[in-house]
């Protein structure tokens, strides 16, 4: 009985930690260094967070996210999926001003068909 209770408590703690975990983390330095900003929801204007034009690397835990060089999802935008990005592309390096989740899973089905 004691082992079942311990496992139940451990499971509840893990579920709670997972629910509170950030879906993405922006870092001010390359290779996940410097200050960090964690988020679970869309950020229409990073100026409000004090992190505008500061991100140089990012980590995405879940979902597919679009980050843009201007507030309110304008300017140059790129999509990133789950993974580690130790260096951002030059058009977004120290230029991210907004970001939002666009899909839970890869937003395309099958191979693309290109018309000629």
Residue, of 84 and 5, whose pLDDT is higher = 84
CA torsion, ordered 107, 74, 55, 64, to nearest 10 deg? -10
Residue-wise pLDDT tens digits, 84-105:
999 999 999 999 999 999 998 8
For residue 16, what pLDDT is reported?
37
Paired with 43 in beta bridges are 99
Whether 109 shows a pLDDT value over 50: the answer reads yes
> What is the CB-side half-sphere exposure of residue 68 using CA atoms within 13 A?
16
Residue-wise pLDDT tens digits, 21-71:
679 999 999 999 999 999 999 999 999 899 999 999 999 999 999 999 999
Whether 3 shows a pLDDT value over 50: the answer reads no
Architecture of the domain defined by 20-103: Sandwich (2.60)
Nearest to 24 by CA among 45, 43, 50: 43
Q: What is the pTM of this model?
A: 0.74
For residue 56, what pLDDT is reported?
98
Residue with tokens 């937003």: 107
Domain boundaries, given as residue ranges, for the chain:
20-103
Q: Give the DSSP letter string of 14-79.
A: HHHHHHHS-SEEEESSGGG-S-EEEESS-BS-GGGGT-TTT--EEEE-SSEEEEEEEGGGEEEEEE
For residue 116, what pLDDT is reported?
54
For residue 21, what pLDDT is reported?
66
For residue 13, what pLDDT is reported?
38
């Amino acid at each position: 009985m004691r082992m079942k209770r311990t496992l139940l408590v451990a499971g509840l703690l893990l579920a709670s930690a997972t629910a509170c975990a950030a879906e993405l983390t922006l870092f001010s330095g390359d290779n996940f260094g410097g200050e960090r900003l964690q988020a679970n929801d869309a950020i229409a204007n990073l100026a409000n967070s004090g992190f505008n034009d500061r991100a140089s690397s990012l980590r995405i835990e879940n979902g597919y996210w679009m980050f843009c060089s201007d507030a309110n999802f304008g300017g140059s935008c790129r999509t990133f999926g789950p993974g580690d990005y130790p260096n951002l592309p030059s058009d977004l390096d120290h230029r991210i001003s907004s970001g939002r989740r666009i899909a839970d899973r890869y937003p395309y089905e099958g191979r693309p068909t290109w018309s000629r």
